Chains A and B, each alone.
Chain A
Amino acid sequence: MRLRSQPGERIDRSHPIQFTYAGKELTGFAGDTVGSALFAAGRRVFSRSFKYHRPRGLLCCSGRCPNCMMTVDGVPNVRVCVELLRPGVDVRDQNVLGSADRDLLGVVDKVGGPFTPVGFYYRTMIRPRRAWPLYEKVLRNLAGLGRIGDTRNGHGRFDTVHRRVDVLVIGGGPAGRAAAAAVDGDVLLVDDRVGHDAPYDVLAPATALGIYEGGLVPVAAGNVLYRIRAGRIVVATGALEQLLLFSGNDLVGVMLPDGVRRMVDEWAVKPGDRAVLVGEGAVGVKLQLARAGVEIAAASLRPESLSAHGRRGRLTSVLLDGERVDCDLLVVSGGLQPAYSLLAQAGARIEYEPRRGIFVPTELPDGVAVVGAAAGGIDQTPVAAVLDGRGDKCFVCICEDVTTKDVKRALAEGFDSIELAKRYTTVTMGPCQGKLCQLAATRLLARETDTDESAIGTTTARPPWTPVELGLLAGRHHEPAKRTPLHSRHETLGAEMIWTGQWRRAFQYGDPAAEVRAVHESLGLIDVSTLGKVLVEGPGAPALLDRLYPNRFSDLKPGRIRYGVVTSDGGRIMDDGTVARLGDELFYVTTTSTGSEGVVEWFEWWNAIWGYDAEIVNVTGALAAMNLAGPRAREALAPLTGADLANESFRYLDAKEIAVAGVPCLALRIGFVGELGYELHCPAADAGVVWDALVAAGATPFGLEAQRVLRLEKGHVIVGQDTDSESNLVSARMQWTIKDDKPDFVGKGAVPHLQVRERLVGFTADVLPPEGAQVVREGRIAGRVTSARVSERVGRVIGLAWVEPEIAEEGATIAIRVDGAMRDAAVTLAAFYDPEGTLLRS
């Protein structure tokens, strides 16, 4: 069913390609699209419409309209008119009960019309309320087009390419080519048709999706997304053929001129036997029709009235200015409209030009130019909003099955602006994104409201210019994960790894309770490389830290460590950690694992205002850290270092540079987990050496879970778990860190106003509440549990909770809701374990 060889045809008749449609074997040629191969094989009905299930056939042949959407290899909503034919491709109908030819849901078109006017669903199915879910189920199943398969159905991977050019030309028509050829230098032309030979760079077939800030133009080219940064952008997207509004304008056999042109020129198929041509654009295809041997039954540039009639949704005749003409092809053009969407989205203004009946872009943003038809370089006279003629439905929007009657009704109901009418009727909201219906809708509204098109305007142009696959936007997925230098050690030990922020951390090594025991009774070792580590250095460092923290660091002696809490200017707790003074002008600050970047940014932000002579350097990734803790810590560490570890020379809260197993370490004697401990910070590359030596010395690796139990026994808070964005130092009972006599610090102004609506306290209980359990008092919520664990050491359930100040008293009984039942717990204000800190200091 092919024509004889056409000049410039795209098909390669020497390469037949087998494919299946609805289970039937069919043959096309290399260079065919799925649509052209199906048409050549005799298929005329390609889909059923969204609402009325009317048969629809090829219309635009350029991937714009919804008429040829089918399911291809399990992928729904594929516009087969532009989908290149591949061997073995499996094509199926969608959104039908039966087949596209015989769709039982077609009954909606026959009898459903009066019951389903625009917005009918807003007015019906309201009572009884409990029936709505049933109605809705029916509606949901009727709506939608294709069906998503159960599995991933990509044809391969998606990639992203970054590119920059001086000049980017979008559109490969004559104007675009001329613009590209005129550029002397770095130019790239993007064209959604097959490429052409040119002295400049061409990317085709490829579609620009939008023009974003900074000259960013994302371009979809098959499975590759090009992110192009252009110095200048020339838009040469041409014009879009518009649908003409008349009764039966959606019948199978009604086509736009460009579709007919492609069908004959590129695919060598005969679009019909007997044609009627209507509109200025349509007469331009006479040549193609003659070559294809299509009889031209009638032609009219500007008819007064037109209606199309058919049988089973297929065109059989038209009434043209009152005269009946039999035909199976109606080539119509509602005129051209500049394709301005990319420009509008980039910030251009869109203005109506009554002389030619089009919207043209004006007031272009800097660096963006428009040429050719897209600029309004179109020679035409405006067409009528609607060609009167009685008969079948007249569609403004074929994607959503919106008729002129629907639009008129919307107006009569008060939806009288283009945006309200759009939202109510859904015109321009379908898969064509308004490419075929925007102008028609505006014309119709102007006519019906007795105004002009410029008063009506257009709806806002929204990206993307062409629907784009999620997979292509996503590219290849690279979710960043941070691993500590000791990661492989944990894996070897069989640790359960979990996420903390972007870090992967060892949660436990098999028996967290035994890990806790090891720390209490002997010796444990935990990888704390995830701690944020920041150097603050310079003559201004002491003053800077004094101003960043509520407490004081300028009086901290070199070699000593102090706990510090970072608060916001509203006095809220943001982060915590230790600050070690390594020299007169050098401080080593640690932060929480997830807080390091935020803290560094915060420090820098403030110092940008204050201008202290101090450098803030984030060394988190450069250094590893591990905490050696337990009663045996000193005796185990001693043989590995030459340093004097005696309690008198290396005191609690001392910081010393020592060598461990030959590796230079900064050793901090601190006690987050409550036993004698040394936190060893060393170059990341040498972390394994230190770790291995300590394990060889008898240290048991312990994970995050054991650490959580150990720190809870000490009543140490975890910022972000035991505090939230409103917690302050007074309510968290850490007012001792506030040195209010300082002239200034971040949050000082808030200190006098800090509210204590609740306090953070410890509690003991017999039943383990979930973290997040609520404290209930007199039937209302009076607090919440933030941490809770069973502590072998304490012999009870221990936890931290925020409670109302009245019950934040030592020994007070509070009621915690656990699994729906109230359980008593006793408030404890001191640490559960070693409250005096004797062990830490020994």
Chain B
Amino acid sequence: MKDIFRVRRMWRPRSELKKRYDVVIVGGGSHGLATAYYLAKNHGITNVAVLEQSYIGSGAAGRNTTIIRSNYRTPEGAEFYKRSVELYERLSGELDFNLMFSQHGHLTLAHTDSSLRVMQERAEVNQILDIDSRVVYPEEIARLCPQLDLSDTPTWPIMGALYHAPGGIIRHDAVVWGLARGADRAGAELHQNTTVTGIETDGGRVTAVQTNRGRVEADVFISATAGWSTLVCGMAGVRLPITTHILQAFVTEPVKPFLDVIIVSAQMHVYVSQTDRGEFLIGAEIEPYTTYKSTGTFSFLEYSARHVLELFPQLERLKVLRAWTGLCDLSPDYSPILGATELENFHLSAGWGTYGFKAAPIVGTTLAELVASGKTPTLIAPFALERFHSDTLVSELAAAAVSH
């Protein structure tokens, strides 16, 4: 409470870049900052620089639709995100910064018997892993979200849903700022407007990164650059099986509370939530083409509006205020690429597609552990880059296609 009367800097102003750090993290988004934070908190490693080409949280961390959940399909994915949700639940208190994590519940709608079957499978996997997740039918959906059009009128009537009570939304910028403050206070340096322009390697190791502000050496380097992963890793000669696509979202004008739960419909290619500010936050699927051009498309607004109205016809006169795009780094199996690379001291967090934000704390914890111990934590072993050589992919495709 006292903090509301006292003006304190969140983080120190940018200092000069040192010549050398213990750890250099490329990317000042949720993953990079979480890694810096947990390096300090869990392992006491504070001689760390986070290099961000723009402002912190300017990429996917500030553009996602802020949904946190763990009801994934594969045991590997579900276990991983379960840990992430648990970390998120504690994070406001830990950072002493209110991330406004609201676990109002998450409904993934099924409009066909085949999607109902997928929901059932996810529920079964989740229950075995002790994740609160079950299939519900229209009668219960009507209680959880009476605003939904559950009649036979829509082209694709709602047959059921996967209900995930701990699922929720969070204030995404607050996550970035809270982690940044935590990392900064522990001693890590934040370097905004610092672009990596080259990566020097020697004998299977990264020796230094070149930036627009000079050359920096370190013992360990981490790339946490989401949509730019292939470009950054390419500088180190590390090739990734990743394509970059755009994902679009929009908000409406603020209105009084109408919708508490999060509604996701893969059939309608849309997910809908209402923020604490009263805006509806609506996202869609990634665009099928690869691009770095972040101009949005009008057809996105059209089909998203159409699909939202199939679910909530009452929103017909609600106005779209602002649309934006973000870059998504997509891996072939929709699972992330996390941990070590063929370069001994170069680790990465990439391939997150549309759901990296949900994983920030667990990525930070596990990457920090990897740096500190030199060993890949078991939890993230299935997501190693190596799997594309050994062909042991983790198919999250069925659950991730549009499942925010």
Contact = CB atoms under 8 A, between A and B. Distances in A.
Interface of A: 50, 75-77, 95, 114-117, 120-127, 129, 132-133, 136, 139-141, 143-154, 209-210, 212-213, 216, 218, 227, 345, 347, 409, 412-417, 419-420, 423-424, 426, 429, 431, 433, 460, 462-464, 467-471, 473-475, 477, 479, 481, 498-500, 570, 720-721, 724-726, 750, 753-755, 757, 770-774, 776, 780-781, 784, 817, 820
Contacts of B92: 126, 129, 132
A772 B117 CA distance: 6
Interface centre among A122, A463, A750 (most CB of B within 10 A): A122
Contacts of A774: 121, 124-125, 128
A433 B322 contact: yes
B255 interface: yes
Given A152-B314, A774-B124, A721 B255 contact: no
Contacts of A144: 254-257, 277-278
A520 B156 CA distance: 34
Contacts of B142: none
B258 interface: yes
B398 A725 contact: yes
B93 to A, nearest CB: 6
Given A721-B114, A772-B123, A784-B121, A153 B314 contact: yes
B96 A147 contact: no
A368 B272 CA distance: 35
Contact of B96 (A120, A126, A721): A126
A479 B155 contact: yes
Contacts of B333: 725-726
B4 A123 contact: yes
B392 A755 contact: yes
A412 B11 CA distance: 10
What 7 pairs across the A-B complex have the smallest Cβ distances?
A144-B278, A772-B121, A772-B120, A473-B305, A467-B319, A471-B316, A479-B155
Contact of A148 (B1, B256, B298): B256
A133 B100 CA distance: 9
A141 B256 contact: yes
Contact of B127 (A129, A136, A771, A820): A820
Given A415-B10, A468-B320, A470-B316, A124 B255 contact: no
Contacts of B117: 721, 771-772
B137 interface: no
Given A144-B277, A413-B9, A726 B124 contact: no
A411 B310 CA distance: 43
Contacts of B319: 77, 467-470
A216 B320 CA distance: 18
13 contacts: A76-B255, A77-B319, A143-B254, A413-B10, A414-B12, A424-B177, A464-B323, A470-B305, A470-B309, A479-B155, A481-B155, A500-B112, A781-B125
B118 A145 contact: no
Contacts of B119: 772
A770 B101 CA distance: 34
B55 A771 contact: no
Contact of B305 (A75, A153, A471, A726): A471
Given A136-B102, A143-B254, A774-B128, A726 B395 contact: yes
B58 A419 contact: yes
Interface size class of B (residues with CB under 8 A): 35 or more
A45 to B, nearest CB: 20
Nearest to B75: A781
B257 A773 contact: no
A625 B122 CA distance: 35
Nearest to B319: A467
Given A121-B100, A470-B252, A470-B309, 20 more contacts: A76-B318, A77-B255, A126-B96, A141-B257, A144-B255, A150-B314, A152-B314, A212-B297, A213-B295, A424-B173, A424-B177, A460-B324, A469-B317, A471-B316, A473-B301, A479-B155, A499-B111, A724-B398, A757-B392, A772-B117
A464 B324 CA distance: 10
B13 interface: yes
A139 B395 CA distance: 40
B155 A136 contact: no
B314 A120 contact: no
B202 interface: no
A477 B13 CA distance: 52
A772 B122 contact: yes
